[in-house]
């Protein structure tokens, strides 16, 4: 068996084991949340008999380990269950929300990844100059400021003062691509400002470390320009750490959209998660958390494989 294929199988097995542990943590954590689903649905006027019958109907009267095994078995069969509040299929509830979240994350990624790599190359090329210092100050500021604060500042500037973009993201089913991009620009810009700084600084640090190596000095002695030295000789060898941090930030674009979606009332998976927690709709919360966890694990797996494929020496422990 090829070593890379063997490595993929090992990482997939490790990812499945991690996802199993995460599912157990999610289920136990939700069990510890305060509140009674039956009381939430039936109201304060419900009698003990109706509450008991409702709990039996939903399977809430079963032991915790039995409910976990039933939930896990249904997931393995592709059934995410039904909502405790509305009784609708969770798959149907998540389908459109998941598409909206991935659209927002993809929109932000299309802006942030090329921007971060270009800024990283520029700051490495002109390191120590006022341009490098200015970009680093802006990036450190973007890292330090919370997402919701960045979102409110953008809303104040672009929605209140300039009236260029809506402050609330209302997406209709028949919205075209242009309208969807216009309405999701502010949430995407918020995510871009947050994740670009991390990717840019990693690109800069990786390139600066490579610029001190002998083969880079040889390229300079042969007459290569600074730009060609970085883009042609240093950047290909810095792919592994850059891809790793890009993959982690792409995972964050999907997993970390909860706050941004709440601020802009964006109809995505994060907004659905917050609404389900407030309504004690635990089955929806479990499914959303599991999807977020699986996405993060898959992106980390992809980053490891891309890093190893770009640098085969990482396959060997020594």
**37-93 tens-digit pLDDT:** 666 666 666 677 777 777 777 677 777 778 888 888 878 887 777 777 777 788 888
Inside any domain, residue 162: yes
Residues 108 and 229 in one domain: yes
Residues 129 and 40 in one domain: no
What letter would DSSP give residue 89?
A: B
Inside any domain, residue 88: no
Range of the domain at 52: 3-76
Inside any domain, residue 83: no
Residues 220 and 177 in one domain: yes
Among candidate residues 136, 126, 140, the one with its CA nearest the CA of residue 211: 126
Nearest 10 degrees: Cα torsion 70, 71, 75, 79: 90
Other beta carbons within 10 angstroms of residue 85's beta carbon come to 17
Residues 147 and 288 in one domain: yes
Residues 36 and 108 in one domain: no
Inside any domain, residue 197: yes
Residues 103 and 43 in one domain: no
pLDDT digits (tens, 9 = 90+) for 158-214: 888 887 888 777 776 666 777 788 888 888 888 888 888 878 887 887 777 777 777
Q: What is each CA distance from 244 to 44, 61, 306, in whole angstroms? A: 51, 45, 8
Please give the share of the chain, as a percent, with pLDDT higher than 90: 0
Residues 30 and 164 in one domain: no
Inside any domain, residue 82: no
pLDDT at position 234 = 72
pLDDT digits (tens, 9 = 90+) for 287-310: 888 888 888 888 888 777 777 776
Residues 37 and 106 in one domain: no
User: Does the model's pTM come out above 0.85?
Assistant: no
Residues 149 and 71 in one domain: no
Number of domains in the chain: 2
Contacts 24+ apart (CB under 8 A), 162-166: none
Residues 201 and 104 in one domain: yes
Residues 205 and 69 in one domain: no
């Amino acid at each position: 068996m090829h070593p890379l294929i063997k490595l993929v199988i090992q990482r997939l097995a490790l990812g499945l084991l991690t996802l199993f542990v995460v599912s157990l943590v999610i289920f136990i954590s939700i069990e510890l949340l305060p509140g009674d689903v039956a009381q939430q649905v039936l109201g304060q006027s419900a009698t003990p008999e109706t509450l008991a019958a409702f709990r039996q109907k939903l399977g809430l009267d079963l032991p915790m380990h039995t409910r976990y095994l039933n939930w896990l078995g249904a997931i393995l069969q592709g059934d995410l269950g039904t909502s405790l509040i509305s009784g609708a299929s969770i798959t149907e509830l998540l389908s459109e929300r998941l598409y909206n979240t991935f659209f927002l994350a993809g929109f932000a990624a299309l802006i942030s990844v090329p921007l971060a790599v270009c800024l990283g190359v520029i700051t490495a090329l002109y390191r120590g100059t006022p341009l490098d210092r200015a970009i680093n100050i802006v990036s450190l500021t973007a890292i330090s400021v919370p997402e919701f604060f960045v979102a409110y500042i953008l809303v104040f500037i672009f929605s209140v003062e300039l009236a260029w973009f809506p402050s609330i993201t209302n997406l209709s089913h028949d919205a075209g691509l242009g309208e969807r991009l216009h309405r999701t620009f502010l949430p995407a810009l918020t995510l871009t400002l947050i994740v670009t700084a991390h990717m840019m600084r990693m690109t800069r640090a990786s390139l600066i470390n490579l610029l001190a190596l002998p083969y880079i000095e040889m390229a300079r002695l042969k007459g290569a320009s600074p730009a060609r030295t970085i883009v042609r000789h240093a950047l290909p060898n810095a792919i592994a750490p850059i891809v790793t941090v890009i993959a982690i930030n792409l995972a964050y674009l999907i997993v970390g959209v909860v706050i941004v979606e709440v601020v802009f009332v964006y109809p995505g998976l994060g907004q659905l998660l917050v609404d389900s927690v407030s309504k004690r709709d635990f089955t929806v919360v479990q499914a959303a958390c599991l999807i977020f966890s699986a996405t993060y694990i898959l992106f980390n797996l992809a980053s490891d494989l891309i890093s190893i494929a770009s640098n085969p020496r990482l396959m060997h422990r020594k």
